[in-house]
Structure 1
């Protein structure tokens, strides 16, 4: 899954979304903080390709996007909305292809604006970035080509101030940034900055009411942070090869950004620092058992404000969970399989 696949629903229940070879499955708490139900298939019987993106709006609805096969060497994108964790999601709805037709062009991203409209971002066959947004009263606006060349397969997007969407992509030696100037307005190319990002490591987060921050691993193995208007800042050495999970939360009364990454040792590493104060420094602390090589980590805040981390292995289906204890610092409960 592309994005934070551990989310808190409108009713306070946590849920996780996992991708199998041909479907998206969901597991959810039966009550907030309680036992979990069994995996359920999302969006009907439509067969999917094994990559999907997930986004969540201020209304807490989950929006999912994935590629489906339509014929030999051809695919298109489909979208589903999941309103409540224990309810059935809407059936997959066709969104089309950024180049009208063809095969998969990149891993899709879903993000939701303040009006609850899903926006789908995906690299197109020309190597640029394309976007399609839901209309306010149903249906989809036309695809928009943001241009760009030789962009990496996986972009990042996030809802920032007032729910305005901001998008990031990595190209040859550069990071590229687009944003809406106002809610539900057109996107503008705002800034490019020199940087060498490792493919598949972009993660964007709203780190204050005014700013969003892009986290990425550079080719020297440093986990870096970039807020447009300044240059990227190296934060600390990356714990592992994949993207970080990130959440804004309160720790001991301070507004903090918590990062988690599956480390090269096979465990989960955590680091926290005051939001947007990279100069304060951060360091990794590893936690939990050694994990399968395909395991991923995601972060959320539960119904009572506790940070929750989930680890999921697609090959085994094993789901592990830990929560912050009611203690100073980032003390976590023992990891539990659910």
Structure 2
């Protein structure tokens, strides 16, 4: 399949310190890291569509050509999240609705794995529902997940009581029973971060503040929730490990409407921008020799934006770039097999578009390429 050129990115502004061929219909981007780098150095991109999801894969390390779209069927999928572990396995978590024998709708969480770039998925396995009552089960939220350093998959989902439920793998590869992590007022997906030392942290915004859960040790129980006096818009929190065993959390602030950042031991910092009510994609990389954090999101006019600043040095300034590309849902960020930053988004026509970091220095992106139609 040939790429289509879609023009250059916009100008920058600073705001303060089992597959078959199938073309997808219009669908917003999934949650999580839906642009992934395989062990062989090729990128893959995943987007939900009617009856399942579609995948594109680079034909060579660094592109620019892609194969696809390849259709992966899964009926009843209402939400899709993509997460990847350090072993490069890609995990797909979904919220699924199916008609029960009594005619009512049943809801469960499903999971599948892609072990190698461009190859088939495993079968979709049901992880069930933390609620035994079908009425409560239908109020189950969107699942998100994280993969610990040892490859253990963790699935977090807001439950019908406003708390957080967890299901995770056991050391023998089987799945443990659902766990109640408690909490109140959680009605939007949390942010999960897997730290290099093996622990996980989970953060969720509520109407009254933030709840934070921390794993006591790799593979251990989660302590919390700890309440924090931060005011993110629910559903906008995301997280990134910015130092050994330390996560920085980013969100849309209810006070000034811009992006905020916080980590334990520091005061919250405003990064500017004008995001919508969704989380930003995040990536830690080196830009012009500097350890940097890159954020990608959607502006209030529905166009994609890109931000960059020093890692754990937000007070020195954070720059936002208006890209001029219509965007559905949350964009994705990754490095390709040559180490270049790649940004992906779902355009207004439902087709994915990608742009790569240019050779001119900085974080300037090259031309946007459409992968659909």
Normalised to the residue count of structure 1, the TM-score between the two structures is: 0.93
Residues 84-122 of structure 1 deviation map (CA, whole Å, 9 limit, x = unaligned): 221001110110112234214111101101111110000
State the distance in 2 between where 1:178 and 1:73 align.
32
Partner of 1:28: 57
Question: How far apart are 1:326 and its partner, in Å?
Answer: 2.0
Partner of 2:77: 49
State the distance in 1 between where 2:139 and 2:46 align.
21
Greater relative contact order (Cα 8 A, min sep 6): structure 1 or 2? 2
Picking from 157, 169, 176, the partner of 2:192 is 157
CA contact under 8 A between 2:193 and 2:201: conserved in structure 1?
yes
Partner of 1:91: 123
Question: How far apart are 1:236 and its partner, in Å?
Answer: 1.2
State the distance in 2 between where 1:248 and 1:11 align.
21
1:9 aligns with 2:38: yes
Partner of 1:60: 88
1:127 aligns with 2:134: no
Picking from 323, 326, 333, the partner of 2:359 is 326
Picking from 203, 213, 219, the partner of 1:178 is 213
CA contact under 8 A between 2:239 and 2:247: conserved in structure 1?
yes
CA contact under 8 A between 1:117 and 1:134: conserved in structure 2?
yes
Normalised to the residue count of structure 2, the TM-score between the two structures is: 0.85
**RMSD over aligned Cα atoms:** 1.8
CA contact under 8 A between 2:309 and 2:317: conserved in structure 1?
yes
Picking from 64, 67, 76, the partner of 1:37 is 67
Q: Summarize the Cα distance change of 1:157–1:296 in structure 2 as closer, same or farther, 3 Å threshold.
A: closer
Equivalenced residue count is 333
Picking from 298, 307, 310, the partner of 1:274 is 310
State the distance in 2 between where 1:310 and 1:46 align.
23
CA contact under 8 A between 1:105 and 1:153: conserved in structure 2?
no
Partner of 2:253: 218
Partner of 1:304: 338
Residues 53-91 of structure 1 deviation map (CA, whole Å, 9 limit, x = unaligned): 121111011111101223223211010111122100111
Residues 7-39 of structure 1 deviation map (CA, whole Å, 9 limit, x = unaligned): 111211111111124312221112222311112
- Structure 1, unaligned stretches of length 5 or more? none
Question: How far apart are 1:233 and its partner, in Å?
Answer: 2.2
- Structure 2, unaligned stretches of length 5 or more? 1-29
Q: Please list, as runs of the form range in 1=range in 2, the aligned pairs for 1:185-224 lying within 5 A after superposition.
A: 185-189=220-224, 191-220=226-255, 221-224=257-260
Partner of 2:14: none
Q: Summarize the Cα distance change of 1:103–1:240 in structure 2 as closer, same or farther, 3 Å threshold.
A: closer
Structure 1 or 2, whichever has the larger Rg, is: 2
Q: Summarize the Cα distance change of 1:33–1:25 in structure 2 as closer, same or farther, 3 Å threshold.
A: same
Picking from 241, 254, 258, the partner of 2:294 is 258
Higher mean displacement: 107-116 or 70-79: 70-79
Question: How far apart are 1:167 and its partner, in Å?
Answer: 0.6
State the distance in 1 between where 2:246 and 2:307 align.
20
State the distance in 1 between where 2:296 and 2:89 align.
24
Structure 1 stretches (4+) deviating beyond 3 angstroms?
none
Question: How far apart are 1:190 and its partner, in Å?
Answer: 6.1
Picking from 143, 150, 159, the partner of 1:108 is 143
